[in-house]
Each structure stands twice: as structure tokens, then as C-alpha cells.
């Protein structure tokens, strides 16, 4: 039963919608109504620039790490495997990030928060997985490709490192969530229509999106 409180605590951390809050503070806009409609690092980078995107990325990573480590500490007295407690909290963070109740369950895609879980589970594996993802993004400029590959590698690494079958299942759920959240991007990658990201400058501004509708928003 201790798994449920960990999920709930993680979910509340995940509901800290960094991209949404940033959009409101910087320009009083709902980032989910701009660009791809996603409240995450890539969309915030397209609209507000790389520096803002990096800030959002790190906060979303840190909120997952905070929930992971907190649940490991406060429930250590139960004798339950601390890695398992942290992973349930991490899964809760990703669910809260992707499906925040106060934003009608429309949030981000949970990649940054999943990275936070990776680093807490095993920082060496986290660095390797992140390096592979960054290399793919740098080479192709497809953020979605790097994101999906990173999360696909997570359960494999958890199995290789012997973190236990339940941890591996939770890692597989995180991977499945990432694939589900990127299903549209995957289709565009296969069709050759996925949009690349430009890290050198803002690709659009808030004004560029002022007349857009949901039907013609660009992809991730």
C-alpha cells in the first residue's frame, strides 16, 4: 500500500507545470495554446528561446528527482526497497506532468521528468542514456526521436543493472507513456514530415501564433 502514497506525492510534484507557469509569467500566455500545444521544453524553446527552454528542462528534471529522493527518505522506515519507492514517485511525477488535474489533464510529455528518474535510479546509466538522446537530437534535430529512444532504453538498462523486475516494469510503463505521448510525432517521423528544431534562435514568437488555430499547429 505504500506505493500509492508515493504515486500521489509524485503526482503533486508533477503538477508543477514549469512551462505553463513560465509562459504566464513571461508573456501572460498559455503555452498550450501556442505552437504544438504541448506544455514542455521543446515548445517553450520554440517560442521563448533556448535559455528559457533549458531553465524549464532543468526544473522538470529536478522536480522528479525531488519526489524520488523524498519518498525514499520518508518511507524508508517501512523496509520497502527504496529504489522501488523512488520509482513509484517518479512515475507519479510523469503522470502529473502529462495529465495535471487543474489544467484539464493536458500537460507535457514527461521526458525531462523521466530523465530525473533515470538519474536517481543510476546516475551513470542516466548520463549514458541522456548522451545518446542528445547525440541523436544534435545529429537529426528531431527532439521527438531522441526523446523516444532515451525512454526506450530505460527499461533495458534497469534490467541490465539488476534493479529488480518491478522496477523494470515501472521503467517499461515510463517508456510506454513516452511512446504514447509521441504517437503523432512517430507518425510524422515515419511519413518524413516531422518538424526539426532550430537551437540557434527562436523559431517563432508569441505574436507569430496569435492567429493560429489548433488545426494548423506545428508538431513537436
Note the pLDDT of residue 1.
82
Note the pLDDT of residue 218.
44
Considering its fold, how many domains does the chain have in total? 1
Note the pLDDT of residue 198.
77
- Residue 204 DSSP code: -
Note the pLDDT of residue 76.
84
Please give the Cα distance from 26 to 182 (Å, whole number).
27
Please give the Cα distance from 158 to 174 (Å, whole number).
12
Rg (CA), the chain: 17
Domain annotation covers residue 13: yes
- b/e map 4-18, b = 16+ CB within 10 Å: ebbbebbbbbbbbbb
Ranges under pLDDT 70 in the chain: 200-220
What would the grid cell of residue 102 be?
A: 487543474
Note the pLDDT of residue 136.
96
Spatial CA neighbour of 64 closest among 159, 161, 177: 177
Note the pLDDT of residue 209.
52
Domain annotation covers residue 153: yes
Domain annotation covers residue 219: no
Domain annotation covers residue 138: yes
Which tens digits make up the pLDDT trace of 5-35? 999 999 999 999 999 999 999 999 999 999 8
Note the pLDDT of residue 201.
61
Domain annotation covers residue 68: yes
Domain annotation covers residue 162: yes
Enter the pTM of the model: 0.89
Domain annotation covers residue 218: no
Domain residue limits at 92: 3-198
Spatial CA neighbour of 111 closest among 134, 83, 141, 85: 134
Domain annotation covers residue 213: no
Note the pLDDT of residue 144.
94
Note the pLDDT of residue 80.
80
Please give the Cα distance from 25 to 124 (Å, whole number).
35
Note the pLDDT of residue 200.
66
The residue whose grid cell reads 523524498 is: 70
Amino acid at each position: 500500500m505504500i506505493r500509492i502514497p508515493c504515486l500521489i506525492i509524485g503526482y503533486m510534484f508533477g503538477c508543477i507545470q514549469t512551462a505553463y507557469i513560465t509562459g504566464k509569467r513571461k508573456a501572460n500566455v498559455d503555452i498550450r495554446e501556442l505552437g504544438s500545444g504541448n506544455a514542455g521544453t521543446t515548445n517553450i524553446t520554440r517560442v521563448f528561446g533556448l535559455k528559457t527552454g533549458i531553465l524549464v528542462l532543468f526544473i522538470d528534471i529536478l522536480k522528479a528527482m525531488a519526489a524520488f529522493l523524498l519518498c525514499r527518505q520518508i518511507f524508508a522506515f517501512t523496509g520497502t526497497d527504496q529504489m522501488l519507492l523512488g520509482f513509484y514517485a517518479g512515475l507519479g511525477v510523469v503522470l502529473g506532468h502529462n495529465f495535471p488535474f487543474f489544467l484539464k489533464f493536458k500537460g507535457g510529455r514527461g521526458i525531462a521528468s523521466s530523465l530525473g528518474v533515470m538519474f536517481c535510479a543510476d546516475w551513470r546509466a542516466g548520463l549514458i542514456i541522456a548522451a545518446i538522446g542528445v547525440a541523436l537530437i544534435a545529429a537529426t534535430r528531431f527532439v521527438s526521436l531522441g526523446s523516444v529512444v532515451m525512454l526506450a532504453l530505460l527499461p533495458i538498462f534497469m534490467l541490465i543493472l539488476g534493479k529488480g523486475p518491478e522496477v523494470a516494469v515501472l521503467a517499461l510503463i515510463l517508456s510506454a507513456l513516452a511512446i504514447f505521448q509521441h504517437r503523432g510525432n512517430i507518425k510524422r517521423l515515419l511519413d518524413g514530415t516531422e518538424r526539426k528544431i532550430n537551437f540557434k534562435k527562436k523559431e517563432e514568437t508569441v505574436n507569430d501564433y496569435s492567429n493560429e488555430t489548433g488545426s494548423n499547429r506545428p508538431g513537436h
